[in-house]
Amino acid sequence: LGAGDDAAVFDARLEREKKFDPDIWVIEIEAGAAPVEEFISVKSL
């Protein structure tokens, strides 16, 4: 969820995902601590 994103849309998506996979992990990364690319591989389609 980024700046300007709709939290309700995110919550609805998360609820759908939890029905599919109840063992889903949600990880919060605080802005400014380190670039997200240091933690995960980011690919754009």
The pLDDT assigned to 33 comes to 73
The pLDDT assigned to 39 comes to 76
pLDDT at 44 over 80: no
In whole angstroms, give the CA distance from residue 31 to residue 20.
29
Query: SS3 for 37?
Result: helix
Q: Which tens digit of pLDDT belongs to each residue from 3-39?
A: 677 888 888 888 998 998 888 888 777 777 777 778 7
In whole angstroms, give the CA distance from residue 34 to residue 45.
24
| pLDDT band (50, 70, 90) for residue 2 | low
Task: State the pTM of this model.
Answer: 0.49
Helices (H), the chain: 7-20
pLDDT at 1 over 70: no
